[in-house]
Each structure stands twice: as C-alpha cells, then as structure tokens.
Amino acid sequence: MAREYWNKFARMDYGQFAKGYRHAEQGVTDEEIRDSFLWGDKNGDFELNFHEFKRMITIKQGPPDHSDEASMKWYWKNFASYKDKGMTIEEFFMGSRIEHPDMPYEQVEEIFRELDHNGDWRLSRSEFMSMSEMEGHDNKRREDMNADDYWQHFSKGGVMDYDSFAEAYQQSLECVTPEMISAAWNDGDNNRDKMMDKGEFMDMVQRYEAEAKVRDSMTPDDYWNKFSDGKGMNYEAFAKGYRYAEECVDDKMIDEAFKMGD
C-alpha cells in the first residue's frame, strides 16, 4: 500500500498527502490529516519522503502482538528519532497515543519520569525497555489490591478529594477516561460535598463490583434484551452496550464493530 501511493505521488506535499489519506479513509477529518502530516514530516521540509511516509504506514498498522518484547522494540524503532541520544517526552507521548489515545499528558509524563532513572529527560534504550518490567509489577500490584488498600493509599485525613479519587481509579484499571472518572465520582459523592468519605467510597466500590459480576455473566441474548428495542439496535444503543461490556474501548473500535455487524 505504501509503495502504491508513493509511486502515484512521488515526494508528497500536504495537498497530495491529504488526497491520498482521504482516498484510503473516507471518514478522516482535516485535523487528523494535518496532525498526521506534521508528525510524519520529521525533517520539517513540508514534504514527505518515502522513508517518512513508509514509517507513517508502519505506525498506522500498529505494533506486533506476538510478544511484549517485540512490541517494545517496535515502539523504540519507530518513535526514538535519535537513538543514541534517547527518546524525548514528546516522542514517548506520541507513542503512547497508539494504544492509549485518551491517556492524559500528565499521566504519560508521570510514567516517563518513573522510567527516566538518571533524570536527563531522555529515555535510553534500557530505560525504555524497563517499562515492560514496570507494567508487570503494576499489574501484579493492581491485582493484589482491594478497596481498603486503595482507600489507605489514596485518602488523606479520612476523606478522598476528586484528584486522589481519579488517581486511584487510574491505578485500578488499565484504561480509564475522564468521563468514567467523573461518572464514578458523581455516583460515590452522595452528599455532594466534593469529598468522599470511606463509607461513600466503599459503597460505590461494592456497587461497581456487583455490577461487574452481573456484566461478566451476561450472554449475547442478555445484551440484546438490555440494549435493543426488541426489533433492532441503532448505533447509539450498540455503542452503549459495547462500552458496558468492555472497559477499554474507543470510538474507532465501536465504529468498526458496528460496520462489521451491520
């Protein structure tokens, strides 16, 4: 595919890139085209050479999924521009958006700082590759923690404010959106005093755990009965059902699944 478009356009200026992008993906927005072009134009000459273009196609296809090590090597190869100097925070952030497009910059920066052992604001290859060990430790820590552990770790003075609650929520799940945090906070802060005491926190966790057990036991027929009108399911109902079933789902995944089923 990359060679096909390259043979058609040779060196690509912005207009040619936009034309090719719209041909490949009819629903792409002007903002997505602009951001992709500026990100791909590594030497800043406002044209894409073949190596820049091929790199963009490779990244769009995503990392290999046969092993964590292969995936880490793929990210290092494609996002560390000057490997002898190390990966910058900007490159690390761009890489994070491949699999976690909704992760806030502040959360990415926190992970970057934890990996940057010598504090030079660049990740060496060994520092970057150590992320797989850190993720394994975090996953184990997350699995071992219960609601009381989270309360002890994130509450202060017998209460939990919104920022502490958001941090706890992000720690507890692999992918959390601001909307999920806000909805859970509103569900837990019963007296609307902008603080959550332990009783409110524990009650909310128990409700969510009970809901999760019900969700895990649901069959396709159960989802149909819950989210369809009995005759069919429109896009909004399908999206609501998909988000109910899966924690880590984005609009693109929903679009593709809906088109496949429709």
Q: What is the pLDDT of residue 66?
A: 56
Q: What backbone torsions phi and psi does residue 84 show, to the nearest 5 degrees?
A: -70, -25
Q: What is the mean pLDDT of the chain?
A: 83
Q: What is the pLDDT of residue 100?
A: 82
More confident residue, 78 or 54: 78
Residue 156's contacts (CB-CB under 8 Å, 6 or more residues apart) are 164
Scanning the structure block, which residue is given the tokens 């603080």? 195
What would the DSSP string read from start to end of 122-171? Answer: SB-HHHHHTHHHHHHHHHHHHHH--HHHHHHHH-BTTEE-HHHHHHHHHH
Q: State the average pLDDT over residues 73-94.
A: 89
pTM for the predicted model, two decimal places: 0.44
Per residue in 2-30, pLDDT (tens digit) is 455 545 455 788 888 888 888 888 888 98
Which amino acid makes up residue 240?
A: K
Per residue in 171-193, pLDDT (tens digit) is 777 677 888 889 899 999 999 99
Between 97-106, 139-148, 152-161, 233-242, the lowest mean confidence (pLDDT) is in 139-148
| Cβ pair 93, 106 in contact under 8 A | no
Helices (H) then strands (E): counts for the chain: 16, 2
Residue 259's contacts (CB-CB under 8 Å, 6 or more residues apart) are none
Both tokens of residue 71?
């995936």
Q: What is the pLDDT of residue 1?
A: 47
Interior/surface letters 88-118, b for 16+ CB within 10 angstroms, e for the rest: bbebbbbbbebebeebeeeebeebbeebbee
More confident residue, 52 or 47: 47
Residue 140 in this model has a pLDDT that exceeds 50: no
Percent of the chain with pLDDT over 90: 22
Confidence of residue 231 (pLDDT cuts 50, 70, 90): confident
Measured CA distances, 245 to 10, 176, 236, 240, 248 (Å): 45, 14, 14, 9, 9
Confidence of residue 220 (pLDDT cuts 50, 70, 90): confident
Residue 213 in this model has a pLDDT that exceeds 60: yes
| Cβ pair 189, 201 in contact under 8 A | no
More confident residue, 128 or 262: 128
Q: State the average pLDDT over residues 230-254.
A: 84
Confidence of residue 133 (pLDDT cuts 50, 70, 90): low
Strand ranges, E, within the chain? 159-160, 196-197
